[in-house]
């Protein structure tokens, strides 16, 4: 033995990708040879194009274009069975996903109705408790003030101090009750299932898509929220529609070689 430890899979069959790559090389050997020949010819093309070689350069570009079209055509033809298989796989699982997501949405909508009712009931209860706490705190404060105003003996002083402490605590409890009454929807609606689920309302801002008016939409406010890709798409659309000048962008006329 040479002391080397064989790696797992060292003698295993070739990966599917390697088998496919080898099959593509064998099936498209002629195209590979054609591309290699063109790349070899590329090393002998002129660095500077002038009147003496412009026609030959155009012919060479046409050959490159033809080989490229042939390569793309074969790619599409070879890939189609795999795409068809992929579409079949996607269709199979998407049909299941669609059923699951539809059912999930329906159940979420039903749970929304219940949790909103739970949150509203909880809010009303907490608001009522806060109201009662405020009233009790006010009553105790009145009693404390009355005792403080009618001090006559040392016992009266002790009684007044105790009443003030009770009133102070009641006021603190009232503040806490008011804070509880203003809790968010998640705290008001949280519900737990027997198998570990926790349901609650999530508060978020959204908009009515039907309310969007293109002609009056405040685009200036949205300026910083528009992605670069959307801006570029809008600029291209503007140019395609015949636009020549546009504030904030340099639009110019350009030329590009076309070989047929």
> Would you say the C-alpha torsion 156, 161, 166, 170 has a positive or negative sign?
positive
The token pair at 251 is: 């639009």
Beta bridge partners of 192: 198
* C-alpha span between 150 and 137 (Å, rounded): 20
Q: How far is CA 243 from CA 76, 216, 249, in A?
A: 37, 22, 12
- Amino acid 1: pLDDT: 43
- Amino acid 84: pLDDT: 96
- Amino acid 178: pLDDT: 87
25's CB contacts (< 8 A; 6+ apart) are 32
The token pair at 150 is: 């009618």
64's CB contacts (< 8 A; 6+ apart) are 38
Q: What is the pTM of this model?
A: 0.65
pLDDT per residue, tens digit, the chain (260 aa), is: 454 444 555 566 678 899 999 999 999 999 999 999 999 999 999 999 999 999 999 999 999 999 999 999 999 999 999 999 999 999 999 999 999 999 999 999 999 999 999 999 999 999 999 999 989 889 889 888 887 887 666 677 788 888 889 888 988 988 888 888 888 898 889 999 999 999 999 999 999 999 999 999 999 999 999 999 999 999 999 999 999 999 999 999 999 999 99
Three-state SS string over the chain comes to CCCCCCCCCCCCCCCHHHHHHHHHHHHCHHHHHHHHHHHHHHCCCCCCCCCCCHHHHHHHHHHHHHHHHHHHHHHHHHHHHHHHHHHHHHHHHHHHHHHHHHHHHHHHHHHHHHHHHHHHHHHHHHHHHHHHHHHHHHHHHHHHHHHHHCCCCHHHHHHHHHHHHHHHHHHHHHHHHHHHHCCCHHHHHCEECCCCCEECCCCCCCCCHHHCCCCCCCHHHHHHHCCHHHHHHHHHHHHHCCCCCECCECCCCCCCCCCC
């Amino acid at each position: 033995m040479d002391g080397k430890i064989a790696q797992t899979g060292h003698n295993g069959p070739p990966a599917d990708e390697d088998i496919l790559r080898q099959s593509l090389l064998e099936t498209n050997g002629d195209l590979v040879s054609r591309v290699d020949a063109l790349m070899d010819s590329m090393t002998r093309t002129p660095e500077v194009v002038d009147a003496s070689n412009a026609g030959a350069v155009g012919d060479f570009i046409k050959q490159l274009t033809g080989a490229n079209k042939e390569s793309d055509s074969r790619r599409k033809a070879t890939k189609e069975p795999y795409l068809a298989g992929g579409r079949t796989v996607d269709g199979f699982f998407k049909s299941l996903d669609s059923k699951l997501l539809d059912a999930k949405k329906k159940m979420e909508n039903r749970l929304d109705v219940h949790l909103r009712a739970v949150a509203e009931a909880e809010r009303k209860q907490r608001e009522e408790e806060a109201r009662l706490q405020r009233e009790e705190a006010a009553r105790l404060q009145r009693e404390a003030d009355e005792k403080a105003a009618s001090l006559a003996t040392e016992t009266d002083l002790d009684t007044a101090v105790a009443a003030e402490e009770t009133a102070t605590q009641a006021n603190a409890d009232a503040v806490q009750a008011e804070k509880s009454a203003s809790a968010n929807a998640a705290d008001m609606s949280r519900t737990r299932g027997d198998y570990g689920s926790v349901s609650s309302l999530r508060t978020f801002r959204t908009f009515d898509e039907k309310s969007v008016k293109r002609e009056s939409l405040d685009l200036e406010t949205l300026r910083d929220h528009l992605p670069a890709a959307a801006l570029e798409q809008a600029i291209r659309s503007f140019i395609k529609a015949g636009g020549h000048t546009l504030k904030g962008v340099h639009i110019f006329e350009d030329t590009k070689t076309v070989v047929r």
